[in-house]
């Protein structure tokens, strides 16, 4: 490795994450400060060592009307002064995008130590307002286009009687029905994904839901939008996560005993967004999908995991469902996916989700996950996406971490 390449290396040196769940008593900013304290403690650092902060929140403006300067307000009282604080929004990929920006900043040498934060308070006492939030994550100037796309993907399905749900459950359901027609994916295979992730979360003390569910129980649960039942879908969640990254100069300040290297952090848009972002990330990291030991993917629904494992090349096209059914993506299987429990069980506080994935994978590479540990894990991948545009996610992120 050349001197210039070595000098541009980036490490995760600290991770922090709140419990994910319902935190009626805490604000967005209090959740953020909780995660930040834990990340700094994990790094053996204090706020004074941080050169720049990227603060992510997708819902704070809509739900709590703090439309601007959320990061500055959250961080000033936490001891962060006289440094740049940048506010980031990129739908469900907000936290991952904040981390990508932090990585770029330290890789360039403009900062030695950077902090990425993602925080959401989604339970604000007004469930209708929370559901309405999701109607802002597609092209609101042409809502008819969304409905036409869903009909083209998933056919005409009248499910208005099923009750309140995010429009994204209808989006995932339409994508799932299209995949079922194309590849023969079954509802039982989707239930196997959900059952697997709920089982993983049972041993995750930070997860929103920690109860194991069998495949028959998942299938018999309340239908949300065919073929999805409630346990196949991510809950509305409060929470925050934070990650401290540094370059070689920062590593000298903080120590390297528990550092995990950021091999790639790529964010992109369509077309074919996940596949092309993954290709760039693999190329940048110098690895391929066959090298990945453990992955956290964006399973806002069980079908999301099926689709993303295929697009990432972890399984062949059409094999996401069968692979889950055979146990290949379960802890102890060929390629464990979502050992944290994923969004379905760990929870999905939008801006915190991508950083929560990095928290899990950093701990996996450190060998610190106890009963959920993927033995011998050296290469880990996080995929996180958000929004919906022109038939696919509006934005996708792929982060690859390594400990060699």
* Domains in the chain, CATH or no CATH each: 3-124+237-262 (3.40.47.10), 127-227+265-402 (3.40.47.10)
Q: How confident is the model at residue 155 (pLDDT cuts 50, 70, 90)?
A: confident
Cβ atoms of residues 353 and 331 within 8 Å = no
* Residue 2, pLDDT above cutoff 50: no
The per-residue pLDDT for 166 is 86
Q: What is the mean pLDDT of the chain?
A: 95
Let me know if 24 is a catalytic residue. Answer: no
Cβ atoms of residues 385 and 99 within 8 Å = no
pTM for the whole structure = 0.96
**Which range has the worst mean pLDDT, 45-49, 155-159, 312-316?**
155-159
Looking at residue 120, what DSSP letter applies? E
Cβ atoms of residues 79 and 221 within 8 Å = no
Let me know if 123 is a catalytic residue. Answer: no
Write the pLDDT tens digit of every residue in 344-383.
999 999 999 999 999 999 999 999 999 999 999 999 999 9
Rounded to whole angstroms, the Cα distance separating 99 from 238 reads: 19
H helix or E strand, kind and range, residue 88? strand 85-88
The per-residue pLDDT for 162 is 63
Check residues 161 and 102 and name the one with the higher pLDDT: 102
Q: Are strands 113-120 and 395-402 parallel, antiparallel or unpaired?
A: unpaired
Neighbours of 176 (CB within 10 A): 27
The per-residue pLDDT for 161 is 61
The per-residue pLDDT for 156 is 63
Rounded to whole angstroms, the Cα distance separating 10 from 324 reads: 33
Write the pLDDT tens digit of every residue in 275-303.
999 999 999 999 999 999 999 999 999 99
Section 124-131 average pLDDT: 94
Rounded to whole angstroms, the Cα distance separating 182 from 340 reads: 30
Write the pLDDT tens digit of every residue in 305-326.
999 999 999 999 999 999 999 9
- Per annotation, catalytic residue among 179, 246, 348, 369: 348
- Per annotation, catalytic residue among 23, 92, 123, 298: 92
């Amino acid at each position: 490795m050349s001197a210039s390449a070595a000098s541009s290396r980036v490490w995760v040196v600290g991770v922090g994450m709140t419990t994910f769940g319902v935190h009626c008593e805490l604000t967005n900013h209090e959740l953020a400060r909780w995660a930040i304290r834990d990340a700094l403690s994990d790094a053996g650092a204090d706020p004074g060592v941080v050169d720049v902060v990227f603060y992510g929140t997708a819902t704070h403006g809509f739900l709590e009307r703090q439309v601007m300067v959320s990061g500055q307000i959250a961080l000033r009282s936490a001891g962060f002064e006289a440094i740049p604080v940048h506010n980031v929004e990129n739908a469900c990929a907000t936290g991952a995008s904040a981390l990508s920006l932090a990585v770029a900043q330290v890789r360039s040498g403009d900062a030695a130590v950077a902090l990425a934060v993602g925080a959401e308070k989604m339970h604000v006492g007004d469930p209708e307002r929370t559901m309405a939030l999701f109607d802002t994550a597609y092209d609101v100037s042409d809502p008819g286009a969304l409905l036409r796309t869903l009909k083209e993907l998933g056919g005409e399905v009248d499910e208005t009687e099923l009750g309140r749900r995010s429009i994204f459950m209808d989006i995932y359901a339409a994508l799932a029905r299209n995949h079922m027609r194309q590849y023969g994916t079954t509802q039982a295979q989707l239930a196997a994904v959900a059952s697997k992730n709920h089982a993983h979360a049972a041993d995750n003390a930070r997860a929103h839901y920690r109860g194991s569910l069998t495949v028959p129980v998942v299938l018999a649960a309340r239908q949300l939008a065919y073929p999805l039942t409630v346990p196949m879908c991510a809950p509305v969640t409060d929470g925050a996560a934070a990650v401290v990254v540094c370059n070689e100069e920062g590593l000298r300040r903080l120590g390297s005993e528990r550092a995990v290297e950021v091999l790639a952090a790529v964010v992109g848009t369509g077309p074919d967004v996940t596949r092309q972002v993954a290709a760039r990330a693999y190329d940048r990291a110098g690895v391929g999908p066959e090298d990945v030991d453990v992955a956290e993917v964006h399973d806002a629904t069980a079908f999301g995991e099926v689709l993303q494992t295929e697009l990432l090349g972890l399984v062949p096209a059409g094999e996401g469902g069968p692979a889950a059914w055979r146990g290949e993506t379960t802890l102890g299987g060929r390629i464990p996916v979502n050992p944290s429990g994923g969004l379905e069980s760990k929870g999905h506080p939008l801006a915190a989700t991508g950083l929560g994935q990095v928290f899990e994978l950093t701990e996996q590479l450190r060998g610190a996950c106890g009963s959920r540990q993927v033995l011998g894990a050296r290469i880990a991948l996080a995929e996180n996406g958000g929004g919906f545009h022109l038939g696919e996610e509006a934005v996708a992120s792929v982060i690859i971490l390594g400990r060699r």
